[in-house]
Amino acid sequence: MSDPIFNRIAVIGLGLIGGSFAAAARENGLAKSIVAGSRSARTLEQGIALGVVDAGSQDLAEAVDGADLVFVSTPVSAMGKVLAALKPGLSSTAIVTDGGSVKGNVITAAREALGEHYSRFVPGHPIAGKEKSGVTAADASLYRDHRVILTPTDETDPAATAKVRAIWTGMGAEVLQMTPGYHDQVLAETSHLPHLLAFSLVDTLARQGDSNEIFRYAAGGFRDFTRIASSDPVMWHDIFRENKAALMQALGLFSDGIDRFRDAVERGDSDALMGIMTRANTARAHFMAMNGRTSYTRAQHSGDDTIMNDTGKANPSYLMTPGGKLNGRIRVPGDKSMSHRSIMLGSLADGVTEVEGFLEGEDALATLQAFRDMGVVIEGPTNGQVTIHGVGLNGLKAPEKALYMGNSGTSMRLLTGLLAGQAFDVELTGDASLSKRPMERVAKPLRDMGAQIITGDEGRPPVRIRGGQSLKAIHYDLPMASAQVKSAVLLGGLYAEGETSVTEPAPTRDHTERMLGGFGYDVRRDGATSAVKGGGKLTACKLEVPADISSAAFFLVGASIAEGSEVTLPHVGINPTRTGVIDILKLMGADIRLENQRDAGGEPVADIVVKSAPLKGIEIPEDLVPLAIDEFPAIFIAAACAEGDTILRGAEELRVKESDRIQVMADGLAALGVDHEVFDDGIRITGGDFGGGEIQSHGDHRIAMSFAMASLRAKGTITIHDCANVATSFPGFAQLASHAGLQLEEK
């Protein structure tokens, strides 16, 4: 155990919050001694008897004497008096922090009570609790995997803030930081308002003459919604009074929402009702995902308010036991590229579009949420079924906030093109990984069309688009093959005057062109050039999204390299702009055949059967590189298992994916002992036996899944870190791969 952070901690107010703070500090060895201050002698006796604190005093100044950290856990309304009472006992270096749920008034009280010591006061608020109260309910694990919000002011000593952050982190909490005003606003909207509504609803019904009968027949939803009305009235009375301004503002927002709902019900406006409820349903799932540190997909299909991810951790690792083989019929998720485009074009179409096979992964759901935020009513997804109530090419509405794209580069780049011609301003943001990816190669041609687009530092997100611009058609020669850039320009062309055309240096996936045609929009295609005229119309249709060949690629490689394997991958899209992975693996000697080839909604599909086979190294033809750009991490694993050298050149695009996939894959191969040489635009991999090791995926889902397949031929255990983003493209990968024969454990 490391040395304690503090010599002596004093806890003022030994209820659940204060008692649990003391218990957690003791259990985690964060202080040499812990004392308490309380007006109640009985509470102090109980705390000492339970071993929560070492000693205590009813004199608060005496209780804090010699303490280098003081944690104040008392009602917000009493904070000023408590701080004034303990101040005479503070040493000049003592740090004071609190657990109050309203920060504005607490800070005002602290400034007045502490005087010159105010700079050592670090306002805080642990977001944790239990229905039980008092020191007997003290729980050393109460703050583990919960959030604590610190709200230091400009006058707060940064060193004091760092020490308070350290003790909460030592208790296992996630520490956030925000301004006091923003804290009070957020808590008013997400905590204080729900409590007020629960108290109000129960009180309103209790005042009815037949309230006993109402309560007798109330369903479980009433019980769940009103559970928080059993909270301590005295405490919430104080909170409502202390956070009056923010609470009144939140009540105003809620009142506006009720008015919108009432108006929709009165008018019988089905679309408005469905829009409110689908947005609410989705927003709650996003909240559950963040609160439970799990994927949106899992949260959406769970009614459990305590949901965590499968491992109970925010970012699981894969522990791969070497060996095994793959067998069986494996249905991989729907095509991600087509799922994105089905939402985009369905939203802009006239009429109702029905989609089957939609990929319910984080990336595609980010696109879906963006269009909900722009006023499109979208039902589902439910088991891959989505119903989109299109608003027409010019029917989108300005979102009330920035559109969050998560980890999805496809969402951000295609939406940049689509939104360049809208009448409203909009901002596109993403997670830490997406925020590092280049956006100027999309913004530049759109600016040439007349769009006003501002990117962040070094041409990276956020992307800000100024609305109300008149776009003019251009011809654009792509400097580098990219389906995303091509699609963004063509989508911008839907709003441009004249014919917008794009010529690509090598073939890339053509889902945008094909799907535009499926929605009845004319697309001119002439060799390497695709073109659209602005001002047309999209007509709603039915779409069936095939299984994603990029997801199938991991099993194509896994079954090829593991002796005795044979798998069938049904209904996989085999668009000729996407089959580079099949062509490359066949050149390496893979035993792959296509069965039951057919057409599904304008896209060719087939059942793919793959058996294990000895692979040999090849020089990958450069004309196949754009047709397999997303599948190269998996192909690298095939190369590591092949006889001889595999050489890839002309793949600069891999440097700007979710990670620098050339370098990150090279680092992983090095960790396993695979001989390789890195080039600016590719890599040489020498196949042979390799061992186990630690793999850093850098949050890149394809890196993680590729090295999972490497375990089939590894001589030792492989641990793959940072695997949370696998849910972005392949929800349920770990379970499906384990069922097929991969020896995978989530940690």
Residue 307: CB atoms within 10 Å: 16
Least confident of 35-39, 310-314, 708-712: 310-314
pLDDT given for residue 2 in this prediction: 62
Mean pLDDT of 343-354: 97
Q: Is the pLDDT of residue 291 over 60?
A: no
How high does pLDDT run on average in the chain? 91
- Band of residue 314 on the pLDDT scale cut at 50, 70, 90: low
pLDDT at 211: 62
By CB atoms closer than 10 A (0-12, 13-18, 19+), residue 304 is exposed
Cβ(236)–Cβ(209) under 8 Å?
no
Task: Return the pLDDT at 239.
Answer: 87
Q: What are the residues whose beta carbons fall under 8 Å from the beta carbon of 204, sequence distance 6 or more? A: none
Q: Is 467 left (phi over 0), alpha (psi -120 to 50) or beta?
A: beta
pLDDT attached to residue 625:
94
Place of tokens 């009614």: 303
Greater confidence (204 vs 322) lies with: 322
Q: Structure pTM?
A: 0.68
pLDDT at residue 236 in the model = 84
Q: Give the model confidence (pLDDT) of 80-98 as tens digits.
A: 999 999 999 999 999 999 9
Task: Write the DSSP assignment of 690-709 as a string of letters.
Answer: ---EEEE-TT-HHHHHHHHH
Q: What average pLDDT does range 676-701 have in this prediction? A: 96
More confident residue, 280 or 642: 642
Query: What pLDDT score does 304 carry?
Result: 40
Give the pLDDT of residue 207: 79
Would you say residue 107 has pLDDT above 70?
A: yes
Per-residue DSSP letters for 260-274?
HHHHHHHHT-HHHHH
Question: What one-character-per-residue DSSP string does 275-320 give?
Answer: HHHHHHHHHHHHHHHHHHTS-HHHHHT---TT---TTSSSS--EEE
* Token digits of residue 438: 């280049």
pLDDT in tens, 52-61: 999 999 999 9
**133-146, pLDDT tens digit by residue?**
788 888 999 999 89
pLDDT surpassing 90 at residue 205: no
Per the CB < 8 A criterion, the answer to whether 315 and 697 are in contact is no
Q: Are strands 475-477 and 499-503 parallel, antiparallel or unpaired?
A: parallel
What pLDDT shows up at residue 361? 83
Q: Do 430 and 408 contact (CB within 8 A), yes or no? A: yes
CB 577 within 8 A of CB 388: no
Q: Record the tokens describing residue 456, joined without a space.
A: 């962040």
Sign of the Cα pseudo-torsion (484, 490, 496, 498, in order): positive
For 539, the 3-state DSSP assignment is strand
- Work out the percent of the chain whose per-residue pLDDT is above 90: 75
Q: Judge whether residue 309 has pLDDT over 60.
A: no
- Choosing from 630, 660, 680, 700, the catalytic residue is 630
pLDDT reading at 312 higher than 70: no
Q: Is the peptide bond before 462 cis (omega within 30 degrees of 0)?
A: yes
For residue 547, the 8-state DSSP code is B
Residues 6 or more apart in contact with residue 245 via CB below 8 angstroms: 184
Q: Read off the pLDDT of residues 479-532 as tens digits, 9 standing for 90 and up.
A: 998 999 999 999 999 999 999 999 999 888 899 999 999 999 999 999 999 999
pLDDT tens sequence across 427-473: 999 988 899 999 999 999 999 999 999 999 999 999 999 999 999 99
630 is catalytic: yes
User: First-to-last CA distance in the chain?
Assistant: 23
Q: Are 641 and 674 in contact (CB under 8 A)?
A: no
Of 31-45, 124-138, 570-584, the poorest mean pLDDT is in 124-138
* Across 373-392, average pLDDT: 91
Q: Looking at residue 383, what is its pLDDT?
A: 83
Q: Does residue 649 or residue 431 have the better pLDDT?
A: 649
**pLDDT band at residue 131 under the 50/70/90 scheme:** low
In the chain, what percentage of residues exceed pLDDT 70? 94
Q: Looking at residue 299, what is its pLDDT?
A: 42
Determine the pLDDT at residue 293.
42
Per residue in 229-250, pLDDT tens?
887 787 788 889 988 999 999 9
